[in-house]
Amino acid sequence: MIAQVFAAIIFIAMFAFIVTEIVERHVVSLICALLTLILVFGVGMHSMSAVVDTINLRSIFTVEFWYHSAKTAGSGSGINWETIAFVFGMMVMVEGMARVGFFRWLCMRIAKLVKYQIIPIFITFMVLSTILSMFIDSITVILFLAAVTIELSRLLKFHPVPMILPEIFCANLGGSATMCGDPPNIIIGTSLGYSFMDFVTNTGVIAGVSLIAVLIYFYLAFKKELLLETGTSVDYGSLPSPESIIMDKRGFLVSSVIFASAILLLVTHAQTGLTVSAIGLIIAAVTLMTSGKHALALLKKVDYKTILFFIGLFVVIGGLEQTGILEIMAGFIGRISGGNRMIMIAIIIWLSAVASAFVDNIPFATTMIPIIKSLSAAYGIDLSILAWTLAMGTDIGGSATPIGASANVVGIATASREGYVIKWGLYCKKMLPATVMVVLISMLMIIFRYL
Amino acid sequence: MKKQLIISVGREYGSGGHEIAEKLAKHYGIQMLDHNLLDEIAAERNLDMKNLEGLDEKYKNPFSSRTVRGYSSSPEENLYLIQFDYLQKKAAAGESFVIVGRCSETILKSYEGLVSVFVLADMDKKIERIMRLYHLTQNLAVKKIREKDRKRKRYHDCFCKEKWGNARNYDLCVNSSRLGVDDTAAVLIDYIDKRQQIETK
């Protein structure tokens, strides 16, 4: 009982401190992790084995960390080292691509392909945001896309905000389509043993249908504002040629090959047996080996704070799991739904969406994984249905408010720093209806397809 | 070449700090920046002022904003950073100006030509001034002074390490109630002249 009280207090305190940002979130999660080890496992449970299980270091030294001979779930409770290794590897690869100018080149190339016409740029950038976010983190996607959008808006004379907001939404939508698109999906996939293609054929299909709806919605919502200043003379000669953006031609080619290989490895990992952790580490190693003198700089640019945040978070959630609190919460959801699968899906998707609109979706999804496992076991509902429901709720819900997802924050900051300040009112007026629409589409598709 | 002079004036509401800043700008024939800083930024970047209004000298609400890898969703913090960049650029270009508030004593601390001043006043004098200027009752004037100063302090302390009005943060803190606005400005001019003489030597 005392262990449960400690675990609950630590968890609530962690959320409170993350929200207030008094201390950086990785510091909060690491301190809370330490408190979990001491108070929950030590004082409350007197269990050294719980500490060892939660730190989970031994999982790194197993074959399953690198190679899955059959579809197996991840290492259970505690630190999910598979996620950590994959996130690290992708961060190194993305830094390598950014160094050579890959993302800026891609954006400018597409703008040139559509002859710098505003509405075609608007549509193609939304699609580009979705596709890139399927494979790399949405923060990087938005960082480059928003910067290029502002650059183009000055040259082509249009307001950038009506283009940046849909890009943000599509980055979150793209993230929901694959296992590696958004951190909750990586955690769901590695914890429950789903492959890249499992996500593509389930959440990917929902994201694809939603993208069509979103393209229509944002076109109708922003068409007028985007075309407000058309007719103003544009100096096309001042537009940078895409080729001039490439900083290092050899590096660019190498980065493109590495990126293509990463996609290929991820798409085929269920067949090859390579785990996402192995893919992440292989990609990181190849990127570093081919970066020569830039390797150290790339390593320094990796967002270690996020990695530390993940580590701390897994320990705190491990505390909740080991003390049985999450089973109690699962029982609560089960009772409210009366065991009805449709109601259970509705509760999970809307609860996840609303929670993710206000708090970090990573701790939320991590907390929910053991809950959906319990629900699946107790009510005989296929775990994968609940996993897709959780993924769509957490990934899409984050789009509703300026603080819901990392891509929103980065997109808003990039625009605001250039003077195009995006306030809550403006953001929610356009993004909330789109979020509700996509969550609704997701819920209906899940219900009709799986029940 | 004329030496760069940047005068940063922090002020309590009703202390006459703004008027003193105007007198200093007039005396030295240099630009005065206060809320017009936003107009300048908007004009330079061809921005819609409507979008920026209401955010000037406002503190960041931690519950309605989030920071990711150093990027903040707070409109107030982003405007602060825009002003930060603009003031830094202006100072780096060697321009001389008077700037009222906006954390300028911290933002421009590294510039040799900076003279930072904080103007305070006795409460009764501040009430008297606000009642006279805005035709308010005593109670309303007190309320307005407390509210404005609370917001200025929160804004400053939200973005700066040093505390608002703390003497260690400024070259000079002066109570304008003792000499009145005109003589306080005269004392400050005397101080600034001496500083410039020393620095020119």
| Smallest Cα distance from A91 to chain B, Å | 13
Cβ-nearest to A421 among B67, B71, B79 = B79
Whether residue A238 is predicted with pLDDT greater than 60 in this model: the reply is yes
CA B35 to CA B30: how far, in whole Å? 16
| Smallest Cα distance from B77 to chain A, Å | 9
The strand pair at B6-11 and B97-100 is best described as parallel
At residue A74, the pLDDT reads 55
CA B33 centroid distance within chain: 9
Q: Distance of CA A224 to CAs A33, A159, A437, A451, Å?
A: 50, 11, 21, 41
| Smallest Cα distance from A423 to chain B, Å | 6
Average pLDDT, chain A: 91
Whether residue A46 is predicted with pLDDT greater than 60 in this model: the reply is yes
Nearest-10 crossing angle of helices A304-322, A325-337: 70
A76 CB-contact burial (10 Å; exposed 0-12 / middle 13-18 / buried 19+): middle
B161 CB-contact burial (10 Å; exposed 0-12 / middle 13-18 / buried 19+): exposed
Residue B24 inside a domain? The answer is: yes
CA A342 centroid distance within chain: 26
At residue A243, the pLDDT reads 84
**DSSP-assigned beta bridge partners for residue B7:** B98, B115
ipTM above 0.90, yes or no: no
**In the numeric block, which tokens belong to residue B67?**
């920071």
Q: Which residues of A touch B38 (CB under 8 A)?
A: none
For residue A10, give every residue at least 6 positions away whose Cβ sits within 8 Å of its Cβ, in sequence order, or none.
A32, A35, A36, A39, A40, A316, A319
Residue B200 inside a domain? The answer is: no
CA B9 to CA B44: how far, in whole Å? 24
Amino acid at A80: N
CB contact B94 to A (< 8 Å): no
Q: A23, A24, A416: best mutation site toward chain B, by most B Cβ within 10 Å?
A: A416
Confidence label for B44 from pLDDT (cuts 50, 70 and 90): confident
At residue B49, the pLDDT reads 76
Residue B201 inside a domain? The answer is: no
Residue B189 inside a domain? The answer is: yes
Q: Distance of CA A157 to CAs A168, A234, A419, Å?
A: 21, 7, 15
Q: Which residues of B touch A409 (CB under 8 A)?
A: 66-68, 71-73
Whether residue A176 is predicted with pLDDT greater than 90 in this model: the reply is yes
Residue-wise burial string across B173-198, b where 16 or more C-beta atoms lie within 10 A, e elsewhere: bbebbeeebeebbebbeeebeebbee
Residue B199 inside a domain? The answer is: no
> Could you tell me which chain B residue has the CA closest to the CA of A412?
B73
Residue B47 and residue A419: Cβ atoms within 8 Å?
A: yes
Q: What is the mean predicted confidence (pLDDT) over A27-35?
A: 95
Q: If you count residue pairs, one on A and one on B, with CB atoms under 8 Å apart, how many are there?
A: 66
Contact A138, A175 (CB under 8 A): yes
Is the torsion defined by CA of A319, A307, A410, A115 positive or negative? negative
CB contact A230 to B (< 8 Å): no
CA B61 to CA A245: how far, in whole Å? 38
Given the structure tokens 């029940």, which residue do they identify?
Answer: A451
DSSP string, A258-307: HHHHHHHHHHTHHHH-B-HHHHHHHHHHHHHHHSGGGHHHHHHHS-HHHH
Q: Running DSSP on this structure, what letter comes out for residue A40?
A: I
Within 13 Å of residue A138, how many CA atoms lie on the same side as its CB? 34
Residue B125 inside a domain? The answer is: yes
> Could you tell me which chain B residue has the CA closest to the CA of A407?
B68
Residue B1 inside a domain? The answer is: no
Q: What is the mean predicted confidence (pLDDT) over B75-94?
A: 92
Q: What is the mean predicted confidence (pLDDT) over B42-65?
A: 83
At residue B170, the pLDDT reads 96
Residue-range definition of the domain harbouring residue B183: 6-194
Contact A384, A198 (CB under 8 A): yes
Cβ-nearest to A423 among B67, B75, B82 = B75
> Could you tell me which chain A residue has the CA closest to the CA of B43?
A419
Give the H or E element holding residue B107.
Answer: helix B104-107
Q: Which residues of B touch A416 (CB under 8 A)?
A: 75, 78-79, 82
Whether residue A332 is predicted with pLDDT greater than 90 in this model: the reply is no
Contact A67, A290 (CB under 8 A): no
Whether residue A232 is predicted with pLDDT greater than 70 in this model: the reply is no
Q: What angle do CA A422, A424, A425 make, to 5 degrees?
A: 100
At residue A230, the pLDDT reads 61
Question: What would the pLDDT profile of A280-317 be if each residue is shown by its tens digit?
Answer: 999 999 999 998 888 999 999 998 998 999 999 999 98
Q: What is the mean predicted confidence (pLDDT) over A149-177?
A: 94
Q: Give chain B's domain count.
A: 1
**In the numeric block, which tokens belong to residue A99?**
């160094």
Q: What is the mean predicted confidence (pLDDT) over A260-274?
A: 91
CB contact B68 to A (< 8 Å): yes
For residue B150, give every residue at least 6 positions away whose Cβ sits within 8 Å of its Cβ, in sequence order, or none.
none
Sheet strands side by side (includes B6-11): B31-33, B97-100, B6-11, B114-120, B172-175
| CATH assignment at residue B140 | 3.40.50.300
**In the numeric block, which tokens belong to residue A108?**
């400018």
Residue B179 inside a domain? The answer is: yes
Contact A406, A360 (CB under 8 A): no
Cβ-nearest to B66 among A139, A409, A421 = A409
For residue A204, give every residue at least 6 positions away whose Cβ sits within 8 Å of its Cβ, in sequence order, or none.
A134, A177, A178
CB contact B49 to A (< 8 Å): no
Q: Distance of CA A435 to CAs A372, B29, B162, Å?
A: 23, 55, 41
Whether residue A231 is predicted with pLDDT greater than 70 in this model: the reply is no
CB contact B50 to A (< 8 Å): no
Whether residue A229 is predicted with pLDDT greater than 70 in this model: the reply is no
pLDDT > 70: percent of chain A:
97
CB contact A232 to B (< 8 Å): no
Q: What is the mean predicted confidence (pLDDT) over A128-148?
A: 94
